[in-house]
Structure 1
């Protein structure tokens, strides 16, 4: 049974085409991953099927009474509400359905078409049963505990929570709704390892259909059985997980290259024959015939890969042996997040800071860098420390173009030099002239990485740098950090990303004053 049908959808922004004549069909129970490089149109496609964007051409058709749950990269919570307030909102549509069912029963006394009313009421009752409407409290506790919200206290105000904790609430609310189709845009970005594992197990057993956008390959491999690949405005279907897709895509590309080369040889032979025989009376007819065949030939385009990013961090002066020394440091905002901690960070160390969300990983980075003050204790820097800092997210209202964003920081560079550096990060001419706020998450991250790559530094501080980055950019960033001879402090929810270069791990769970 098809729950969603997309027919011949075309969409673009200005002169830029995003999707061309794309068709897509989602069946009940299918677990789909939508993959592709940054900026290819994954989030645009999700917004079209969810009704947030109207396509330039084509149609989007949902089956009757389908419910859609959508978690995107910019979902927000209503201020001055508790965690429980938000989780209970998940059942509003079911409460309305129950009211509709009671109205149907009331109308049966005077109805001419009793069978139709009974059929509608039975359908609603089935939806209520399958959605767990009659065990709401139990479901809230199960989902909240699975995503680590139970330990925070469900009466906690959402204003007090970190970005990662807010994402967990939005995700929990969505899972409680148990929609016919679940649409998830980068759901693991702000989840820690433990809760990614819980979500993985949940989605593996999920009976309904879902469409997932993620650059977390192990996660896709575990939960998806269909891959749709967006590239060059086209959408191509592959059966299996991401590993199956990679293998099949590589086979397809090799076959396409062979077909292209074979056709080019045939074209060259025909053009040679035409050139040699069109002037001769005896063979002119054959030459004209081949010219017509050549004109009608369905030409195979040469396979071309998108430009891949090249990252190389520039190393600054040699610093002292100890770059950072923390003594009896307590971090927090209105109240302490940790007990007093002391540590040193030496030259050449590559340190991963891990632990569940909400315990102060980003706060620790900002305290070390002096962006926010410590509650207690001191931070002392060594000599010649040159810092490069990658913040987890850009400002949402950043109206600078990508070109200006880099040029403002490095005004001595020429226009050509700035464009060249952005191009090395796999950004197109169109990306370069676009405002930061309208770029995709991955494109925005690449611009901010570009600024770091131009700076001479010996201490690299990275807060969730892989969020939104596509597979190629992640692999290149991992290589660049591994080859960087300076010191690195990284916060990341992806151990498989940093395990090849990390020398030490700081677990904030060992320092926290909170219950973990």
Structure 2
């Protein structure tokens, strides 16, 4: 066991954060630490780190235990050293030895005593055992894995923004390889390739890992256990975040059932006491029951957590079929070419996710679409398009002297104060928080106000740049639900893969200055990328018993004349066009069937339908038919999708 928290209680003033809670951390644990904002997750990490002392209970750690803690406070670190040097600070002992070895080497030039030679030999041996010769290579490897280029490694740490500094500090921490690695929102400052690199790294990490994160995808892939801070207690679950959700629902159901059974028992006993407490023959029994009730350990009613307030978008007017067209767009910053003579079209109903590594131009492209960035080429807006753009720089448009509630009232949405307060509750502003002045809010709080303003704008075209950055899981889910019901179109940039997977129906990726469009969900795009990677993998070389080597992927040569490649490609393209046309037709059928299914479900949910037996039978029969057709259409959709993927793959080879 690495760490044992035994019956700990921790208080801030009169507020109890944790009460008689226990947690044992073992080697190999991968724990997701979760809970609503303000419940004490970061506080618990600081207790483990030794920064806070508990008022009751004990915190025991194994001898010589090393703990690494990644958190926002690390940003107070300042230096003009290169980021490579900062990263190599993880190898403190090896760096000291390196200096000693350099000193002894100089001394040996003038005096080669036995004592000095022994010291030199010992230092070299220790330096080698610490893998000191590879520390520069290891540091560069981790920094580049987290998104830095080779040229960046020699740049001063002080030249980088806060987000990139956090990456350097994360690299330094994981290079230290502590026994317990605690990460507080590690993915907040990372793009998708860097998150995927971190996942691969942590998968093979030898120590225990504790992660606080609002990134469900990350938790699902990384953890084998969940600890939830809930009602001043630590609740333990096995499995990843998805497993936790299933198990928690079962626990809540059992607790609610037990609560209701106990309440029935209490009511029965109280009725008996009330009825017989004045009757001499039953008074003693009534008194005994009353004492038992006083000692009874009461089961708490299930707390359903934050109310499931639904965020709703209202669209003021319907736009034309095409919302925006980009033609021959080019954009560069000095020698950094972002876009090069690329074109794209945004259609009504599109929900597009712009994904990829930082620095590829996602936010720049978003500003070009919004008309807020200069560029070469042409941008043609569609008919009746009403745009609302959410990005960090939009925070500047907030009136610093306004209260939060007034800032939303002044948007002219027509919503009542109650509706606005409910909306602000979704973005973590509750009670008197809504009367805070904008000027005293943190950057994250201002971002949430700006996002709330975007939602009530009545726009039919939304552009969202990292909208989930300052939201908890509950708020992210409410935003997802709202965007899925939103009748308008949107383009979003986000590194939150769960958010993207739940909202987007198209993927845009900037590759070599061009916009590459994938029609499908994030999961389908990931699957397609894997297929492409597998198809483009280098052929494996196998030894040939007759001498020489053969390539495994190389087909056996035939003597017959082969069809020219160009002719094959034309044939494949014709077949691809045919399948794409069928795919489009099936997509339309699916949309119509789903719409009809929803209509029939609405009809069947009405009590009036059951008053007419024949009408109900007719609706039920049609509903069953629609389900059958829907199942066939979905199967056909998947088959056509696979065919298209294979045909596209064959064209790229």
Using the size of structure 1 for normalisation, the TM-score is 0.80
1:132 & 1:393 partners in 2: Cα distance?
45
* Aligned positions of 1:256-335 closer than 5 A: 256-307=255-306, 308-331=308-331, 333=333
* Aligned positions of 1:340-355 closer than 5 A: 340=340, 341-355=342-356
1:479 and 2:478 equivalent?
Answer: no
Aligned to 2:303, the other structure's residue is in SS state coil
The 8 Å contact of residues 327 and 378 in structure 2, kept in 1 or not, is answered as yes
Q: Corresponding residue for 1:465?
A: 467
1:226 & 1:200 partners in 2: Cα distance?
16
Aligned to 2:186, the other structure's residue is in SS state coil
Shift of 1:285: 1.4
Aligned to 1:273, the other structure's residue is in SS state helix
Shift of 1:309: 4.3
Structure 1 segments unaligned to the other structure (5+ residues): 101-121
Q: Corresponding residue for 1:82?
A: 82
Q: Which has the higher contact order (CA 8 A, sep 6+)?
A: 1
Shift of 1:269: 0.6
* Aligned positions of 1:186-201 closer than 5 A: 186-201=185-200
> Which whole-Å deviations, capped at 9, do the CAs of 1:11-48 have from their partners, x for residues lacking one?
34x76544334433323332221012333332332344
Bigger Cα displacement from structure 2, 490-499 vs 198-207: 490-499
Q: Corresponding residue for 1:25?
A: 24
1:97 & 1:313 partners in 2: Cα distance?
62
1:4 & 1:135 partners in 2: Cα distance?
35
Aligned to 2:326, the other structure's residue is in SS state strand
2:80 & 2:2 partners in 1: Cα distance?
40
1:168 and 2:157 equivalent?
Answer: no
The 8 Å contact of residues 164 and 358 in structure 1, kept in 2 or not, is answered as no
Aligned to 2:250, the other structure's residue is in SS state helix
Q: Corresponding residue for 2:504?
A: 502
* Aligned positions of 1:4-153 closer than 5 A: 5=5, 8-12=8-12, 17-50=16-49, 60=59, 62-73=61-72, 75-76=74-75, 78=78, 81-92=81-92, 95=95, 132-151=131-150, 153=152
Distance 1:203 1:267, change over 3 A: same
1:317 & 1:10 partners in 2: Cα distance?
54
Distance 1:246 1:232, change over 3 A: same
Q: Corresponding residue for 2:225?
A: 226
The 8 Å contact of residues 132 and 139 in structure 1, kept in 2 or not, is answered as no
**Greater Rg over alpha carbons, structure:** 2
Q: Corresponding residue for 2:520?
A: none
Distance 1:251 1:394, change over 3 A: farther
2:285 & 2:339 partners in 1: Cα distance?
89
> Which whole-Å deviations, capped at 9, do the CAs of 1:66-116 have from their partners, x for residues lacking one?
33322224643747553323322332365469999xxxxxxxxxxxxxxxx
Aligned to 2:187, the other structure's residue is in SS state coil
The 8 Å contact of residues 458 and 486 in structure 1, kept in 2 or not, is answered as yes
1:81 & 1:393 partners in 2: Cα distance?
30
Distance 1:7 1:433, change over 3 A: farther
Distance 1:296 1:57, change over 3 A: closer
Q: Corresponding residue for 1:390?
A: 390
Aligned to 1:456, the other structure's residue is in SS state coil
Aligned to 1:206, the other structure's residue is in SS state coil
Distance 1:152 1:343, change over 3 A: farther
Aligned to 2:463, the other structure's residue is in SS state strand
Aligned to 1:282, the other structure's residue is in SS state helix
The 8 Å contact of residues 360 and 510 in structure 2, kept in 1 or not, is answered as yes
1:327 & 1:359 partners in 2: Cα distance?
19
Distance 1:480 1:15, change over 3 A: farther
The 8 Å contact of residues 39 and 443 in structure 1, kept in 2 or not, is answered as no
> Which whole-Å deviations, capped at 9, do the CAs of 1:162-210 have from their partners, x for residues lacking one?
7664443332222212122211122223433333232222111111122
Structure 2 segments unaligned to the other structure (5+ residues): 101-121, 516-653
The 8 Å contact of residues 426 and 475 in structure 2, kept in 1 or not, is answered as no
Aligned-residue RMSD, C-alpha: 4.0
Shift of 1:260: 0.7
The 8 Å contact of residues 30 and 226 in structure 1, kept in 2 or not, is answered as yes
Q: Corresponding residue for 2:591?
A: none
2:399 & 2:232 partners in 1: Cα distance?
27
Aligned to 2:32, the other structure's residue is in SS state strand
- Number of equivalences: 486
Distance 1:495 1:297, change over 3 A: closer
1:16 & 1:439 partners in 2: Cα distance?
23
Q: Corresponding residue for 1:116?
A: none
Shift of 1:229: 0.8
The 8 Å contact of residues 7 and 19 in structure 2, kept in 1 or not, is answered as no
1:160 & 1:365 partners in 2: Cα distance?
26
2:97 & 2:268 partners in 1: Cα distance?
69
Q: Corresponding residue for 1:420?
A: 422
1:359 & 1:26 partners in 2: Cα distance?
40
2:131 & 2:292 partners in 1: Cα distance?
64
Bigger Cα displacement from structure 2, 193-202 vs 467-476: 467-476
